[in-house]
Structure 1
């Protein structure tokens, strides 16, 4: 496989998707990632919450589906899924989708500077199967419906009525990632023959109009790519993924993350993490569970993805053995955490606080295996920067 240089950086600045902190550069590194000891060491015995973590890290439960968020009167939603953090003065807000149908929507929890909950509230209601989504540089949350001809809804964690954004296409949406340099939003599609899209707004910061495009490439796992316009983003009568001959098919698009000229996205049907070099116009695999050595692949059920200020990617499992795995900028993969006793669930919504010292995520169905059993956690510790 071709070797290239990639920079990975996190989106941790207040209300922006600009670059922050240190940037790591992979020095002619081979992809996909291979097994190696993790930068934080081995996982320790499970804590009181049933979570195995490296030494120096701790977990706590933030909210449970069907129960009031501690310190508030707001009842947390069922089946918590995709999430993101937004800086809010000296504190921050964590938003989370609800992957139920009907109902769906999204909620938010506000924290003070010490990480204490100060309020919780609804930011989107009356939608369907809101799975993942993405944060914008103008401090909105794009909540995506994972249903046939689903919509993207732009929501307002700081206040304001959510708005349907049909210009971003009607298909089985999964995740979104904003690119402030090229002024586009990347979108994944959760179909066995899904596509990878980008939306080019007419005016950056306004998603009411623009052009939906699809990635064009060959059938190989690496190579060059271009973009082509989707003639009918409404997707009827012809689905968006079937409108452009030569568009590249991906097996079950899931999470999506942008940082410093690269966008990563995952495909659950083949347990892969893809990386797209936006400056070079090339794509390749960052991870493939069939190509891992030595030993067995640590990451299966590949799903949501986020990044830290060090450039590490954190990839959550849907099933597997309920781990969040870490891929370093030098293409080494290892488990970062594992949840015990929740094999009928999936890990969703990983997102770092603005300071990068807290990682929020959910177990969508918790110990019960039911959407009403969701648990949202926070892990605190010495994340590298």
Structure 2
């Protein structure tokens, strides 16, 4: 089957899921995903049309859209600090002066990273850490005017999230201590990064926010509560956390004042994967203080949370704030790996005012793994009134759009074959985000590390 035919089949199947009662369960609760977004300019039921193969072999887009390569791993940073690091992951865009845009980008480098983040005085936490962030400054035409190290000496910087005061919280997806993998300091922390002036934030771990395999965060813009996901790789799986800062919404540096870290308990539900019915609601959600946020004796997910235990979930990844709620993604669950049940992805919504948790979307387990939504990862709200989702599965890699009507369409497809003609491989997408004016979508290809700016008829 040709790629264009396969994309059309995906959309047709998804459009029928409500009637057939199978496949991806978008019916009933999908509208909750778009709380607080504009309804105007949402793309039609077929998105922006079929993807057009890129003659340069980098990025396939719908007709009328175009891309600019902003940065590629191995090229020289504009600052002269060294090569552009590898493994481009989470990212966000912030407004700058005179129409400029500041991009801050994670690099999920482990000890063996091909191009580590260069160490820079005043911005390096652990000289043996190969991860970190770089910051790009763009003019109104998406020309790169500056590109430099924003933080170095961290490890496995996967995702994170923006704050209301326009800084980036970068998350280490590891819990290695000093002495492991050559590290000289403990890792598994969140660090705050000012994309406009990285030296203002430096390389200071926000220890009160916990030491664990962090993935992503979302900030409640009214209360200042920070929600955190944990992508633990083995049982017991990760937890969903909230951090109650001593100085909520206090601006850059305020999170260093400390606070309380708590984990979510859903009474009677030890494993979120056991819930399979879209729209399932749980009231009276409890938040339990973490006994040892620094995980000195044992990782947090192993700790004793007292009577009632705590609620776990496999592959807790994407996290974002929409309307009056926080949404978080479980990319998949596999009973063979220890989960209570199988699925190819869940999206949950937590309403803090009602203390209510709702299962908004379930992907599978009867879903064909070639359909959109296998292992959803980074996710963001789009100015068009829908969602953009980075797929992290097998085979061809896409950025998928989801309209307010519940239709799924392919927005981009990676064309950089890192395998062979007989056995092709494509790097996953990550860090999808939009410019403050909504006219540009920025997205990373994880490997080979490539950052794209995509423009076109978004408001068509």
Where does residue 172 of structure 1 map in the other structure? 213
Residues 215-364 of structure 1: pairs in structure 2 closer than 5 A: 215-217=264-266, 218=269, 219=271, 220-221=275-276, 222-224=280-282, 225-243=285-303, 244=305, 245-270=308-333, 271-278=344-351, 279-280=353-354, 281-290=356-365, 292=367, 297-320=371-394, 321-340=396-415, 341-342=417-418, 343-364=425-446
Q: Structure 1 unaligned runs (5+)?
A: 10-18, 25-35, 367-373
Partner of residue 207 from structure 1, selected from 241, 250, 255:
255
Compared CA separation, residues 120 and 58, structure 1 to 2 (3 A): same
CA 1:325–1:273: 2 relative to 1, 3 Å: farther
TM-superposed CA distance for 1:144, in Å, is: 0.6
Which has the greater radius of gyration? 2
Deviation for aligned residue 1:296: 5.0
Q: Whose strand proportion is higher, 1 or 2?
A: 1
Once the two structures are superposed, residues 263-319 of structure 1 have per-residue CA deviations (whole angstroms, 9 ceiling, x without a partner) of 2222233331413141441220324143558x9521223211111123312111224
1:92 has 2:101 as partner: yes
Are the counterparts in 2 of residues 81 and 349 from structure 1 also a CA contact under 8 Å?
A: yes
**Equivalent residue pairs, number:** 356
Deviation at 1:185, TM superposition (A): 1.0
Q: TM-score, normalised by structure 1?
A: 0.84
Q: CA deviation at 1:45?
A: 2.6
* Bigger fraction of residues in helix: 2
Question: 1:382/1:289 Cα in 2 relative to 1: closer, same or farther (>3 Å)?
Answer: farther
Determine if contact 2:157/2:172 at 8 Å carries over to the other structure: yes
The residue number in structure 2 matching 1:137 is 164
For the aligned residue pairs, the C-alpha RMSD in angstroms reads: 2.6
Q: How far 1:210 sits from its partner (Å)?
A: 0.9
Q: Which of these residues, 234, 239, 246, is aligned with residue 195 of structure 1?
A: 239
The secondary structure found in structure 2 opposite 1:163 is coil
Per the TM alignment, residue 97 of structure 1 is displaced from its structure 2 partner at its CA by 0.8
Give a deviation string over 1:200-250, Cα, whole Å, max 9, x none.
Answer: 111113212111111221242432133222222112323222333442211
CA distance in 2, matches of 1:140, 1:378: 20
Aligned to 1:127: 154
Partner of 1:16: none
Contact 2:363 2:374 (C-alpha < 8 Å) held by counterparts: no
**Gaps (5+ residues) in structure 2?**
1-24, 111-128, 176-186, 334-343, 419-424
- What are the superposed Cα offsets for residues 21-61 of structure 1, whole Å, 9 maximum, x if unpaired? 7258xxxxxxxxxxx95422222233424322122211121
Q: Distance in 1 between matches of 2:147 and 2:134?
A: 7
* TM-score, normalization by structure 2: 0.71
| Secondary structure in 2 matching 1:150 | coil
Q: Structure 2 vs 1, CA of residues 189 and 64 (structure 1 numbering), >3 Å: closer, same or farther?
A: same
